[in-house]
Amino acid sequence: MKSFAPYLDLAIQAARAAGDLLRADFHRPLGPRGEHDKAPADTEAEQVIRGILLAREGDWGFLGEETGRVPGAPGAPVWVIDPNDGTRDYIRGRRGSSVSIALVFERRPVLGVVHPFGYPDDEGAIYSAVQGREGVWKNGAPVAAKLPEKLSETDVVLVSGGGDRAARSNLQCTKPARVMSIPSIAHRLAKVAAGEAAATTSLYSPKSWDFAAGHCLILAGGGAVVDQNGADPVYDDEANGSTPRLFAGSRAVALELSTRDWDLAFRSERETTMPIVRLTKGGGIKDPALLSRAQGALLGHLVGSALGSAHRTPVNHRHAAGQIGSSGEIAIACARSILDLGSDNKSLRAAYATWANSSPSEPDRALDAAAARQPLAGSLSSTALSRLTPLTLWGHAADPSLLVAKIRADTEMTHPAPTAADAAAVLAIALRSLLQGTSASGAIESAHDFARRSGCAAPVIEAVAGSHNPVSAARAAVDAPDVTNALHTILFHLAKTDSFEDAVAQAIALSPASDALPALVGAFLGARLGREGIPEKLRAEVLSCRPMEGLSLSARPATYWATDAMAMAEALLTAR
């Protein structure tokens, strides 16, 4: 069998060059040029790719979505290119589209490179497979993935960029699995091949330039791609191919999905009232490290909340994997209010009251009292800190005095005790430092310096100063730590614990009756370690959890879902 491995570096070079061009256009002040599903940068990127590829083997063929065909010698391999799969979402300013480069020989894809050039941040990723080298590789390293032979409740099926507006019908078609929306079928195929999801679909008549590279990756990962009749895709001698619908995963799962009633999802009315954060055009964050830390902070908060909630009373065992608890929902309510209505106290107060009145499965006494305009004057519960993460993302670039003033005012709405506001302000300073790239020790030193200079309450100063030691057994012997114990514990794990899971597990042990402490420990570890420091399985569970009425044992309003948390974190960084 002929090896095409010598051509892989060439394809990766071309994909990176195209990705650089597309990323630059994505970050134009007014966003990428173009409208609907036509972007000038697509044609420019394809011209770059064609020039690089055909300079090496001039008698090979070329088939591009934008610039068409360059005939090759009879029987020669054909490069098959989509320079920007997912253009419609790209033009709208959404991350996730990808460069797709395949080589088709003897009617089979023998090389595939997929480059989501701006997802999840501007570092992007390179997925590759080639005949002559075993397996699927991501970013230059092999990945070990085993695709499930049967879908389970925690498996994720990736659907199109608009799939989150048809969540109910997509969930019905993928039972018992859950769904996550990702632009670009090439990108979705690559993620499945790498074991980052169980399966994927495309319902919009994909062509060979859309799926050939991903098809190669799926085959290299031991999976299968089939059409609506369960048949494998077919390529002609010129590498043309198309199918009305496409399904990929293990062969058993792909075949099972192909039998479902996908007309239900294809024709369903879009849920236009569902709250979904979208970036504004030109509003993306260029700094990948900052974005990773910010997404790590918010996802860490939400994952910690979900894990903490799962350890609560037996009634909460009805929660699906990844379903966030009270601290996570309050953080989401705060973020949506900032992004939809602004950061004024009146809107935020209304958002918290609305949450308190939404019949949450884990009510909070302090927020219930605040919603009734009778705040608990002496409450020092750690739920006072639940809005800290989104507020600090929003104010990360502001003067520290402005951020602190906002944090204090927000905390006092529900927890008027000065010690609660002091603890929240100190933690905001530490989290702001982490977001800006400061080390854990530097962030703690900033918090300590602020606490001393600002005249914070003595227990707050003592909690920061003593954070190099764990909370004593006597102080930890409570079901829900107060704000000073929470402050101490958060900073201790920030400095001393390198594993996200270990830190959250220890926080749960200290706080069995509240998800606030594990959420906050998760936020600070996520900010320190970055998004990738949180296990992918835990991130995926939160990002794909939709506790929908009629489909969930513990349904919650869509306003409090975390499925758009990645975009939410990025949007908070630029909201003013």
Q: Look at residue 162 in the predicted model and tell me its pLDDT.
A: 83
Cα torsion for 449, 450, 453, 458, to the nearest 10°?
-90
Cα–Cα nearest to 321, from 165, 206, 525, 152 = 152
pLDDT of res. 474: 42
Question: Does the structural domain 5-266 have CATH classification 3.30.540.10?
Answer: yes
Least confident span in 150-159, 208-217, 475-484? 475-484
Instruction: Render 393-456 in DSSP notation, one character per residue.
Output: HHTTTS-HHHHHHHHHHHHHHH---HHHHHHHHHHHHHHHHHHTT--HHHHHHHHHHHHHHTT-
Q: Taking the domain 288-371+380-574, which CATH number applies?
A: 1.10.4080.10
Peptide bond into 120 cis (omega under 30): yes
Q: In the prediction, which pLDDT does 244 show? A: 96
DSSP state of 498: -
Give the pLDDT mean for 268-287. Answer: 83
Contacts of 533 (CB under 8 A, 6+ apart): 296, 500, 525, 526
| Band of residue 430 on the pLDDT scale cut at 50, 70, 90 | very high
Per-residue pLDDT averaged across 180-200, rounded? 97
At residue 37, the pLDDT reads: 86
Q: Using one digit for the tens of pLDDT, what is the confidence trace for 514-525?
A: 999 999 999 999
pLDDT of residue 513: 85
**Average pLDDT in the chain:** 94
54 or 272, which is more confident? 54
Confidence tier at 135 by pLDDT (50, 70, 90):
very high
| pLDDT tier for residue 306 given thresholds of 50, 70 and 90 | very high
* Strand arrangement of the beta sheet that strand 246-249 belongs to: 178-181, 156-159, 199-202, 246-249, 224-227
Where are the chain's structural domains? Answer: 5-266, 288-371+380-574
Confidence of residue 116 (pLDDT cuts 50, 70, 90): very high
* Among 87-101, 196-210, 475-489, 510-524, the least confident range: 475-489
Domains 5-266 and 288-371+380-574 share a fold: no
User: How many angstroms separate the CA atoms of 254 and 262, rounded?
Assistant: 13
Residue 201, CA atoms < 13 Å, CB-side half-sphere: 32
Taking 60 as the threshold, does the pLDDT of residue 475 lie above it?
Answer: no
Report the alpha-carbon distance of residue 115 to residue 288 in Å, rounded. 16
pLDDT (tens digit, 9 = 90+) per residue, 82-93? 999 999 999 999
Per-residue pLDDT tens over the stretch 537-559: 999 999 999 999 888 888 999 99
pLDDT > 90: percent of the chain:
87
Q: Which whole number is the average pLDDT over 93-105?
A: 97
Q: Between residues 320 and 42, which one has the greater pLDDT?
A: 42
Contact assessment for residue 239 and residue 137, using Cβ atoms and an 8 Å cutoff? no
Helix (DSSP H) and strand (DSSP E) numbers for the chain = 23, 13
pLDDT at res. 157: 98
For 306, residues 6+ apart whose C-beta sits below 8 A from its C-beta are 319, 321, 322, 323, 324, 325, 328, 515, 538, 541, 542, 545
pLDDT band at 167 (very low <50, low <70, confident <90, very high): confident
Query: Are the CB atoms for 298 and 565 separated by under 8 Å?
Result: yes
The closest of 104, 528, 563 to 332, measured between CA atoms, is: 563
Exposure of 152 in the CB half-sphere (CA atoms within 13 A): 9
pLDDT band at 315 (very low <50, low <70, confident <90, very high): very low
Kindly indicate the confidence band of residue 133, based on its pLDDT and cuts at 50, 70 and 90: very high
Mean pLDDT of 205-229: 97
Does 316 score more than 70 pLDDT? no
- Among 324, 351, 328, 354, which residue's Cα sits nearest to residue 547? 324
pLDDT range class, residue 269, cuts 50, 70, 90: low
pLDDT band at 36 (very low <50, low <70, confident <90, very high): confident
Per-residue confidence (pLDDT) for residue 574, from 0 to 100: 94
- Alpha-helix residue ranges (DSSP H) falling in 58-116: 87-91
Which pLDDT belongs to residue 473? 45
Average pLDDT over residues 412-416: 96
Name 249's bridge partners.
Answer: 224
**Three-class SS of residue 179?**
strand
Evaluate if residue 271 carries a pLDDT over 70. Answer: no
Tokens found for residue 576: 């003013």
Mean pLDDT calculated for residue range 451-456: 94
**Radius of gyration from C-alpha coordinates of the chain:** 25
Question: Cα–chain-centroid distance for residue 147?
Answer: 21
